[in-house]
């Protein structure tokens, strides 16, 4: 059976493969990473084979030889100043600034990629042709797949999460191609965000009249390397933090940025368990029956999607998502700097 997001992909990007051969737009790339090891080697080798003019690798304190591997491949390395708190947004902006300062003229487009991803051979040509043919589109993305979906239930969860529909979109992820002029217009990524910086960028781009589109085509293989429940928990907590921070920035109508996922996280991950336990203590133990809504929700999602483990993880994730949202609220109320939540 064809994956949900793969159905209808042929509707977007039609003719882009042919147009790519004659595309004249220049494309640079920014890779970000830390201690990715063999994953970074695969990433950089795939980038060197692509039709890219310049590649900047932004390293955030690797100790595994990543910098030497990048330099041996002729990739320009930018060592991020770690005296300033790291965020992926800050790393991407640093890479963009380095590209802008280099001689030879500015590129029209920039491809962003994580250091644990391998670029598909046909992606640059396809995405470049699409953006050249659609001047109102600020950025585009394709299919991101997990390299080892069978390695764990968490890797498979990620693979399904990344299987997004083709067509006009509200946001893109960390692997995407953007128009340099559009990035310049909105000032790039917000370096204060510890997560969710790509959707937030897309909010500002759409507010300026740009559109975002996902096209038909393989883009990257992503090695999530998520094999433990603790990693899944941290990743979900980071998502909850991003939901709350994004909502605080753009939650007002008509955008309502992250309003729906934040509401679900608070309802299922905080309000429901609190009502069950507080009601049981203060009123009657029968309130514990409210917890039966969790298995009922898992069954509902299982019947809808046909994937029991994914249904369970989607439901369980609401607890760490709610914790992440409250972590953001706590940091904001007490004026504390947010700390990066890493799951690897």
CA 154 to chain CA mean position, Å = 16
Note the pLDDT of residue 1.
Answer: 36
Euclidean distance between CA atoms 111 and 55, whole angstroms: 9
Biggest alpha carbon–alpha carbon distance for the chain: 73
- The pTM is what? 0.89
Helices (H), the chain: 16-20, 38-49, 66-72, 88-101, 123-133, 153-161, 180-186, 197-207, 229-250, 259-266, 272-282, 293-305, 308-316, 318-333
- The pLDDT tens digits of the residues spanning 138-152 come to 999 999 999 999 999
C-beta separation of 137 from 210 below 8 A:
yes
DSSP assignment string, 176-239: EEEEHHHHHHHTS--TT-SS-HHHHHHHHHHHTT-EEEEEEEEEEEE-----SHHHHHHHHHHH
Residue tagged 């094999």 (tokens)? 227
List, for the chain, all residue ranges whose pLDDT scores fall below the cut of 50: 1-23
Q: Between the CA of residue 105 and those of 75, 127, 182, 293, what are the distances in Å? A: 18, 21, 17, 59
Euclidean distance between CA atoms 259 and 247, whole angstroms: 6
Domain boundaries, the chain: 4-227, 244-333
Euclidean distance between CA atoms 70 and 53, whole angstroms: 16
Note the pLDDT of residue 48.
Answer: 96
C-beta separation of 110 from 177 below 8 A:
yes
CATH class of 4-227: alpha beta
């Amino acid at each position: 059976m064809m994956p949900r997001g793969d159905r209808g992909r042929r509707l977007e990007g039609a003719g882009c493969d042919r147009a790519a051969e004659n595309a004249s737009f220049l494309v640079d790339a920014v890779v970000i990473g830390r201690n990715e090891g063999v994953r970074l080697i695969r990433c950089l080798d795939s980038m060197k084979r692509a039709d890219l003019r310049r590649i900047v690798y932004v390293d955030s304190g690797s100790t595994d030889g990543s910098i030497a591997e990048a330099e041996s491949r002729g990739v320009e390395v930018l060592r991020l100043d770690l005296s300033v708190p790291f965020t992926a947004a800050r790393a991407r902006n640093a890479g963009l600034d380095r590209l802008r300062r280099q001689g030879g003229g500015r590129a029209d487009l920039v491809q962003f990629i994580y250091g644990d991803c391998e670029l598909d051979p046909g992606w640059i040509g396809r995405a470049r042709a699409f953006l050249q043919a659609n001047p109102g589109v600020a950025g585009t993305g394709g299919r991101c797949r997990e390299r080892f979906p069978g390695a764990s239930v968490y890797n498979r969860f990620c693979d399904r999460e990344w299987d997004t529909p083709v067509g006009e979109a509200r946001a893109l992820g960390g692997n995407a191609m953007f128009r340099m002029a559009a990035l310049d217009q909105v000032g790039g990524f917000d370096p204060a965000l510890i997560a969710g910086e790509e959707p937030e960028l897309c909010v500002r781009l759409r507010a300026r009249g740009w559109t975002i589109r996902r096209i038909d085509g393989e883009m990257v293989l992503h090695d999530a390397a998520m094999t433990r429940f603790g990693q899944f928990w941290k990743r979900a907590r980071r998502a909850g933090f991003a939901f709350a921070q994004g909502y605080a920035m753009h939650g007002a109508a008509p955008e309502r940025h992250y309003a729906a996922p934040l509401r679900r996280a608070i309802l299922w991950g905080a309000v429901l368990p609190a009502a069950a336990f507080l009601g049981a203590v203060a009123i009657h133990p029968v309130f514990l029956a409210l917890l039966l809504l969790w298995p009922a929700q898992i069954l509902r999602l299982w019947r809808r999607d046909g994937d029991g483990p994914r249904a369970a993880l989607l439901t369980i994730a609401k607890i760490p998502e709610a914790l992440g949202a409250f972590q953001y609220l706590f940091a904001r109320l007490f004026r504390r700097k947010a700390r990066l939540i890493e799951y690897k």
